[in-house]
Amino acid sequence: MSQEQPKKVRSEFIYFAWRNVKLRIGVSILLAFVLFSIIGPFLAKHDPLEYVGPMGAPPSREYWFGTTTFGQDVFSQFAHGTRSTLLVGLLGGSIGTLVGILVGLIAGYRGGLVDEFLNMITNIILIIPTLAVLIIIAAYLSVRGIFMQSVFIGLTAWPWAARAIRAQTFSLRVREFVDLARMTGRSSLRIVFTEIAPNMMSYLLLVFILQFGGAVLNAATLDFIGLGPTKGTSLGLIMNNAVLWAALQLGQWWWLLPPGAAIAAIVGALYITNVGLDEIFNPKLREM
Amino acid sequence: MLSLERVTKTYRLGAFGLQKLIAVRDVSFEIGERQIVSLIGESGSGKSTIGKLILRLIPITSGKICFEGTDISTLNGQSLKEYYRRVQGVFQDPFASFNPIFKADRIFRMVHDEFYPEMGAREWTEKVEATLRAVGLNPPDVLNKFPHQLSGGQLQRFLVARALLLDIHLLIADEIISMLDASTRVDVLNLLADLKARGLSILFITHDLSLGYYISERAIILYRGRIVEMGPTDKVYNRPLHPYTEMLMEAVPRLDRKWEKEIRVEREGGLAGSEGNGCVYASRCPQAMDICTQEEPDLREAEAGHFVACWAR
Amino acid sequence: MLQVENLTVYYKTIRGYVQALEKATFTIADGEIMGLAGESGCGKTTLGHSLIHLRPPMNYIEGRVVLDGREVPVWDMEQMQEFRYRHISLIPQYAMNALNPTRKIGKMIAELLESRGVNFDEVLPELKRRLDLVQLSHDVLKMYPIELSGGMKQRTVMVVSTLLNPSLLIADEITSALDVSTQKAVCEMLVEFRDQGFVKSTIIITHDISILYQIADSILVMYAGQLSEKAPTETIFQDPRHPYTKMLIGSLPKVGVRHQEERLLGIPGSPPRLLNPPAGCRFRERCPVAFDRCVEVPPFLEISPGHSVACWRAY
């Protein structure tokens, strides 16, 4: 009977995951957006930046989400924009998570001077107003792409993750199994990645989700104030243009609403997923 | 084989590390070949710290620990690995000693990878199974399982087996049976006694006096980081010299005699290891004299092999 | 006097019921200190808690509890409110570490009493008298928990839990985190409280049988959710009748016993899982004297006054 225990543990996880409404809602919304970001651009009949139709037309059979003041197809922009926004989230979130993990693990495990040094850097970046720095950097770069934007967002978002992971590492490194690995003569680096990190997997997943959401929001903010990618499109950029050309005042709700709602939905879904996962990983929060 | 010379460990506490906490102070003792030595103390006595110092899991503040003539603080890299080939430890919490997300026998694979990389899979499996049988486990019952599928007693034997896979001379057993159930405790104790018959030395760290009596030939009593008494087990138990040892022998719940009826609330001392001149036990000692609060007594040999640190003796 | 009849409590899990306490039947006389002994997971804590605070996932299945001739509605959380603390008081494990760190001890006691409809000032003189008895200064009332040592906290908790002279006190592992000297003082206070009449009956739950040898009048041994044996302390040690009790007592090292001279033996095997446990006596698989009758559950029968045992070999 005990032979099948690990399978049971896994199935218990799936059982609770499936029962968790928050997780189900969050993941469904996210999957829908991911799916849309993959097939959406193929459904779009027009180039997102070309002037293809009537100016400022409301949604119609030909232009599903209507057109901009200049006659660009909003649906095409929306499809491509969703793709690039998710890409920024993925890339920026990954970079933020990776740097956070690396700094947190090393600082937490080594302690002493290494920790003091890394902690100092973490604190410095933590107190610098991130958005201000991003604005300055963005303003200096004349040509900006999605990739550069993601990198900068990721490189400024890691400190809180590093701090949280450092605290976790601190509590794990005094556990007996780490001592046991040390008494096998294992190198510190191997101990960190083979003993400590795997124990934080669920936690690291939560960190990634929060970083993902943060990156999407940060990118949208930058785009919205006109410091987004100079070429291409994104949900934030659509909103930026819409506001710039007074879509709201002209009653062109179809230009502003879809990107705004999409950003809110993506970030909201990520947070709901996060809460749901937290409830599953943490048995104390499970509802029986 | 192993000797500790005036070993001290202090921790720095508080902002800027201004406060000092002395966990272990001026502790000296030796462990000879084929000996089981009990290190007995209550919480805060520094007994686990001494175990960790010997295993080089925490750095020493001052003093020297020598294993077969070599100062262990000079070891690093390959020489430290060779040290771990000879000296291993097993700890109190069997469940915390295993990484919960991996199978329990992963600790054996780790030993293989680090110490016997050249040994073939077949030969290694045979060696592991033989060792498991030597510690009283049936290999098919325990291999390929997760830690939570095994009992505490099985896990502790696993850890002893892990140590035995190496060519160990000394085992540090830190409270290894305090979390086990009564019915399995004595089996693990017997296992330790059998290991001694195979030529191992064991430092048996415990807070339970009756366990120390059962398996060890020498006993060391620690109080707040200091050795207050040490000697052959039967002498320390039957003729305790230090007032603290006397109190322990009297207060510990024993199965061979009942407590005398009286409520006596022990005076409780200050913070463990707080700085002071006199004897660490003076504030609680019913026999304290003036000198006890002024000067610290040294460990003196009161009778052959029986040492005590007390002015009253 | 506490009478428990057929008390059965299961834990509800997603895989079914964990049968943690099966048909417990026993009595505790007035003035009796009963030790509840057994290995981890044997149901001793479940038994203790089910008498006062049966909360989910614990499920009441059957049985009745009678305290001083009054039925105790253990299955009803609401109705139990009246019994809790006033008539049945529990000192949970780690209670001394669970004191609210932001409240002064005196304020905490006042709030606790008010929640039970008791006026603090009326009880104060008695509270002070009892603090004197356990050799605690009255200043404790003006202190925060952090200012007290472990032993002082445990003594405070004991005084507070027995302030309204409950009929039954349940002490769950109250000595396990203490040093031996404090441990002894706390144990002797339990005896003193009984002698002074602060509590009528006491249940001490502990894994440390040597403590029970020191202070308990009787010992109830549990194994895997079933009662194995209950007898006066001396009888449990001198003339145990259940094989489990015999082996358990035999495995305990005593000062004066060395392995070279007398090799003690443990009990081979491990307890069954309580989710779908085997039918019959649950000790059967580890028992050296088991026979075919053991597939039936042995009844917990009194074989001599005050000595009950559940084993087909013992009747």
Taken in order of first residue, the domains within chain B and their CATH numbers are: 32-60+76-216 (3.40.50.300), 240-313 (no CATH)
DSSP assignment string, chain B: -EEEEEEEEEEEESGGG-EEEEEEEEEEEEE-TT-EEEEE--TTSSHHHHHHHHTTSS--SEEEEEETTEEGGG--HHHHHHHHHHEEEE-S-TTTTS-TTS-TTHHHHHHHHHH-TTS-HHHHHHHHHHHHHHTT--HHHHTT--GGGS-HHHHHHHHHHHHHHS--SEEEEESTTTTS-HHHHHHHHHHHHHHHHTT-EEEEEES-HHHHHHH-SEEEEEETTEEEEEEEHHHHHHS--SHHHHHHHHHS--SSSPPPS---PPPP-SSTT---SS-TTTTT-TT--HHHHHSPPPPEEEETTEEE--TT-
B242: which residues sit within 8 A by CB, 6+ positions away?
A: B221, B228, B229, B281, B308, B309, B310, B313
Span C4-40, pLDDT tens digits: 999 999 998 878 889 999 999 999 999 999 999 988 8
| Single-letter amino acid, residue C226 | Q
State whether A180 and B97 contact (CB < 8 Å).
Answer: yes
Q: How far is B252 from chain C (nearest CA, A)?
A: 6
> How many Cβ atoms from other residues are within 10 Å of residue B140's Cβ?
9
Query: Confidence band (pLDDT; 50, 70, 90) for B254?
Result: confident
The answer, yes or no, to whether residue C292 has pLDDT greater than 80, is: yes
| pLDDT by 10s per residue, chain A, length 288 | 333 344 455 666 777 777 788 888 999 999 999 998 888 888 877 887 777 778 777 888 877 787 887 878 888 888 888 888 889 999 999 999 999 999 999 999 888 888 899 989 999 888 888 778 878 887 787 777 888 888 888 888 899 899 999 999 988 888 899 999 999 988 888 899 888 888 888 888 889 988 988 898 888 888 888 777 777 788 888 888 888 887 778 888 888 888 889 989 998 999 888 888 888 776 666 544
What's the confidence (pLDDT) of residue C115?
Answer: 87
The answer, yes or no, to whether residue B272 has pLDDT greater than 60, is: no
Which chains touch B (3+ CB pairs under 8 A)? A, C
Quote the radius of gyration of chain C (alpha carbons, Å): 20
What's the confidence (pLDDT) of residue C2?
Answer: 94
Q: Alpha-carbon torsion A196, B44, B297, B213, what sign?
A: negative
Span B33-42, pLDDT tens digits: 999 999 999 8
- The domain covering A2-285 belongs, at the CATH homologous superfamily level, to MetI-like (1.10.3720.10)
User: Structure tokens of C86?
Assistant: 């006033």
Span C183-233, pLDDT tens digits: 888 898 899 999 999 999 999 999 888 899 999 999 999 999 999 999 999
Average pLDDT estimate for C237-265: 89
C298 vs B278, higher pLDDT: C298
What is the domain partition of chain A in residue ranges?
A: 2-285
End-to-end, the C-alpha distance of chain C in Å comes to 26
Q: What is the pTM of this model?
A: 0.82
What is the domain partition of chain C in residue ranges?
A: 2-95+166-309
What's the confidence (pLDDT) of residue B290?
Answer: 85
What's the confidence (pLDDT) of residue A2?
Answer: 37
The answer, yes or no, to whether residue B162 has pLDDT greater than 90, is: yes
What's the confidence (pLDDT) of residue A285?
Answer: 61
What's the confidence (pLDDT) of residue B202?
Answer: 96
What's the confidence (pLDDT) of residue B264?
Answer: 56
The answer, yes or no, to whether residue C301 has pLDDT greater than 90, is: yes
Of C101, C91, C100, nearest in space to C158 by CA: C91
Average pLDDT estimate for B46-53: 94
Helix C105-115 to helix C150-161 angle, to the nearest 10 degrees? 20
Tell me the chain C residues in contact with residue A288 when contact means C-beta distances shorter than 8 Å: 12, 56-57
Average pLDDT estimate for B148-165: 89
State whether A176 and B55 contact (CB < 8 Å).
Answer: no
What's the confidence (pLDDT) of residue B262?
Answer: 58
DSSP H/E element including C63: strand C58-67
Span C52-79, pLDDT tens digits: 877 778 889 999 999 999 999 988 888 8
State whether B183 and C257 contact (CB < 8 Å).
Answer: no
Strand, helix or coil for residue C289: coil
Domain C2-95+166-309 -> CATH class = alpha beta
**Of residues C15, C57, C273, nearest to A288 (C-beta):** C57
What's the confidence (pLDDT) of residue B183?
Answer: 80
Query: Confidence band (pLDDT; 50, 70, 90) for B15?
Result: low
**Of residues A179, A184, A199, nearest to B57 (C-beta):** A179
What's the confidence (pLDDT) of residue B267?
Answer: 54
The answer, yes or no, to whether residue B112 has pLDDT greater than 60, is: yes
Span C134-160, pLDDT tens digits: 888 999 999 998 888 888 888 899 999
State whether A177 and B148 contact (CB < 8 Å).
Answer: no
State whether A5 and B81 contact (CB < 8 Å).
Answer: no
A162 vs C97, higher pLDDT: A162
**Of residues B248, B249, B255, nearest to C213 (C-beta):** B255
Average pLDDT estimate for B160-176: 92
User: Structure tokens of A265?
Assistant: 């939905």
Span C99-119, pLDDT tens digits: 888 889 999 999 989 988 889
Q: How far is C264 from chain B (nearest CA, A)?
A: 7
Residue C308 near residue C229 (C-beta atoms within 8 A): yes
Residue A73 near residue A45 (C-beta atoms within 8 A): yes
DSSP assignment string, C219-260: EEEEETTEEEEEEEHHHHHHS--SHHHHHHHHT---TT--TT
What's the confidence (pLDDT) of residue B274?
Answer: 46
Q: How far is B116 from chain C (nearest CA, A)?
A: 33
What's the confidence (pLDDT) of residue C35?
Answer: 95
Q: Could you report the predicted ipTM of this complex, rounded to two decimals?
A: 0.85
